[in-house]
Structure 1
C-alpha cells in the first residue's frame, strides 16, 4: 500500500479512470478517450507538459491559417487550465495572446474549432468530472472549484455537455468502479 495519502488518492483515481475507460469502450469511444486523457494528465509530472495539450485533437497547438500561432494556443490553454476556478474574460485572453478581442475570437474559433467560451465551459465540465471521480466533495463545492456560480449552473451545463445530470453521472461512475 502506498504510504503517501496523495499517492493513494492518485492511485485510486487512476484505477477509477482505467475502469471507466474500459467500460466506455463498448458504448462511447469519446468518453473512453476522455478517461485516458485524464489518466495521462494524472500520471504525467506537471512540469513535463501541460495536461490541456491532449484535451482534444483540436486543442493541440498547431498554427492554422487565420488562426492563432502555436505559442498563443499554448499560453491561452495554460492560462485557462490554471484559472478554471475563477472568471476568465475574453479580453484577458486576447491581451495574453497580444491581439484585439475581435481578432482573438475569430482566430480562436479557427484554431480550436469552437468558441473560447465553449472551450472554457468544456474544460470546466471536464474538471468537474475529474473532481467527482477523485473526491467526495458535494456538487456545490465542486461547482465552486470549477468557477461556476452554483450547483444549478453546474447541473445545467453538465446536462448540456454530457447529456445527464452530475449526480446521475457520478453514481454511474461509482457503480462502474
Structure 2
C-alpha cells in the first residue's frame, strides 16, 4: 500500500504571495499541512475518502482566492530573485547545521548589515527568525512522516535538544510538539 508523505514546497516570501483576499503564505502553508495530514489519514483507510478530501480542498482554495501567484518584480530594497532562491535553498539544505548571517551574506555577495536589511525586505522577517521558522516547519514534516522521537527530530533540525524544539515550536505554532503530533496522527475514534 502506498503511503503519503507530506512535502513542503520551496519558500515563497510572504509578501510575494497574493490572492483575491490577500491570503498570506503562512496561512496557505498551514492549510496545506492540514491537507497533507487529512490525505495521509484518508490514504491509510480508503481512496474514495482521499478523493473527497482533495475535492473539498480545491473548493476551499477557490473560495479563498485560488492558486497564489508570485509577484513578478523584486521587492524594492530587497534581494534580487536569484539571491532569494540561493538563500532559501541554502537554508533548506543546511537546517541541520549552524547557519550564520555572515555565511548567508557571503553566499549572495553582500556585507552583513546590508544583507540583513535586504533579507527583511524580501522575506518579511529577519534571517534568524526565518531559519527558526524553517526548522520548525521541517520538524512538523518529520513528525508527520516518521516515527522518530522528538529529540531525534530536534537534532535533525539543527536544534540543541528536545526542550529547545519545544520552546521554539510552542512560540511559533502555539502548542507543544507532542500535542501537535498526537492531534494530527490519531485517527478519529482511536483511544490513546
Partner residue in 2 for 1:148: 159
Alignment of 1:32-71 (within 5 A): 32-35=31-34, 63-71=74-82
- Deviation for aligned residue 1:62: 5.3
Listed one character per residue, the Cα deviations across residues 103-148 of structure 1 (whole Å, up to 9, x for unaligned) are: 0000000011011111111100000000000001000000000000
The total of aligned residue pairs comes to 138
| Equivalent in the alignment of 1:31 | 30
- Normalising by the residue count of structure 2, what TM-score does the alignment of the two structures yield? 0.65
String of CA shifts for 1:33-53, please: whole Å, max 9, x gaps.
Answer: 345589xxxxxxxxxxxxxxx
Is 1:107 aligned with 2:118? Answer: yes
Tell me the residue number matched to 2:90: 79
The structure 1 residue matched to 2:5, chosen from 4, 13, 18, is 13
Stretches of 4+ aligned residues off by more than 3 angstroms: 33-38, 59-62
What CA RMSD, in Å, does the superposition of the two structures yield over aligned residues? 2.6
Tell me how far apart the structure 1 counterparts of residues 71 and 166 of structure 2 sit (CA, whole Å): 28
TM-score normalised by structure 1 residue count: 0.70
> Structure 1 residues 156 and 61 mapped into 2: Cα distance closer, same or farther (>3 Å)?
farther
| 1:60 CA drift (Å) | 7.6
CA contact (8 A) 1:61 1:74 kept: no
**Unmatched 5+ stretches in structure 1:** 2-7, 15-27, 39-56
Q: Look up the match of 2:48.
A: none
Of 172, 188, 192, the match for 1:161: 172
> What's the CA shift for 1:175?
1.8
More helix by share: 1
Could you list the runs of 5+ residues in structure 2 that have no partner in the other structure?
7-26, 38-67
1:61·1:73 contact (CA, 8 Å) conserved in 2? no
Q: Distance in 2 between matches of 1:61 and 1:98?
A: 23
Give me the whole-angstrom Cα distance separating, in 2, the residues matched to 1:90 and 1:123: 15
Q: Could you tell me which residue of structure 1 aligns to residue 138 of structure 2?
A: 127
**Structure 2 match to 1:93:** 104
Superposed CA deviations along residues 77-107 of structure 1, whole A, max 9, x for unmatched, are 0000000111001100000010000000000
SS of residue paired to 1:105: helix
